[in-house]
Amino acid sequence: MTEEFVDGFRDSALARKLAGKLRSLDIGRPMTIMHVCGTHEHAIARAGIRSFLPEGLRLVAGPGCPVCVCPARDIDLAVAASRRKGFIVATFGDMFRVPASISSLEEERAAGRDVRIVYSPLDAVRLAREHPDREVVFVAVGFETTAGPIAAALRDDPPANLAVIPSLRLIPPALGFLLDAGIGPVEGFILPGHVSTVLGREGYAFLESKRGAHGVIAGFEPVDLLSAVITLVEMILSAGTPEVVNQYTRVVSEEGNRRARDLISSVFVEADSEWRGIGAIPRSGLVPAPGFSRLDAVRRHHLEPETPPVDVRPGCLCHEVILGKTEPEDCPLFGSGCTPRRPRGPCMVSSEGTCRARYQYRSADGTGRN
């Protein structure tokens, strides 16, 4: 994809035109739309998209940050593994500082445990091969986009001393849950660009046929997002047949990446999974398939949390932010008791967290609060 092509979606004149059109929309009633992508939240906050919303329209962030929805129990299991003699815990950087029930992996490393930050699942494989006399436990966290590379790293002859704490989550079941549970008056979704490269537009067909919801697959540039919001509002106001529209056609196809999905299903199977602040969602997670059960660190090493897991820390409203029930700025800790340097919850820790994005771009986010 050429730089000139991408620049077209950053065109300031076109963005201003779309912003004016968005602001002039006459909605005439309250309306809430939700995105479910951490990168979308950063792009929305950075471009100040919310400052152009017409009266009555709310654009809220949903459970689109994999680290934020990771339950405390999964991190507690990683902490327990780090305290085992001869163990190395490998984790992505975003997970390193997330507070769990009694500790974090950052605190465990400060206490002398062997916790390593890796940048890809292949780094965890390499680490296991370099230390054949140690047990390496990789915290496998992410959505469909990350599940593919993790499956590829584990499928072909993984080291015998490597296992994973499975913390992979799936976006479609979460969308279905939000609609079925009636959590907030969400009338449509801006669908995630990266995840959609795997799922394709077909991956959201259930929104049209079974849930009666509208959706727009969008890219990450200002023109992408402004166009997506306008399209979604117009579809909702038309009261027409529910539809999922792909506006990110330069990257996302109708069928998505079948090879990636086949790769994922060759290593993992769907399972009921816990989401922080939400609870259990049926078939919303991935665990090693029967032929790869030896890679499940929880079963293989009989890992258990050392204390009952605590998803919601006192004063933290991350669980409500994840569901779009609360804006980050409405949390009493935001910007004072909770900052990127001293985070109280995962939404401020993760680079994809909603609170982190609002804090970083708080002068442009359209809330008027600094």
Indicate whether 367 pLDDT > 60. Answer: no
Q: Residue 275 and residue 94: Cα distance in Å, rounded? A: 17
Widest Cα–Cα separation across the chain: 66
Give kind and range of the element (H or E) at residue 142: strand 135-142
69-169+257-300 architecture in CATH? Answer: 3-Layer(aba) Sandwich (3.40)
Under 8 Å between Cβ of 177 and 210:
no
Picking from 37, 17, 20, 63, the residue whose alpha carbon sits closest to that of residue 324 is: 63
Read off the pTM.
0.92
Strands of the 279-288 sheet, one edge to the other: 115-118, 87-92, 135-142, 162-169, 279-288, 268-275
201-239 pLDDT, tens digit each: 999 999 998 888 999 999 999 999 999 999 999 999 998
Give the residue among 341, 318, 342, 343 at the shortest CA–CA distance from 61: 318
Interval 186-210: pLDDT, tens: 999 999 999 999 999 999 999 998 8
β-bridge partners, 87 = 135
pLDDT in tens, 89-136: 999 999 999 988 999 999 999 999 999 999 999 999 999 999 999 999
Domain boundaries, the chain: 69-169+257-300
Distance of CA 7 to the CA centre of its chain: 26
pLDDT band at 6 (very low <50, low <70, confident <90, very high): low
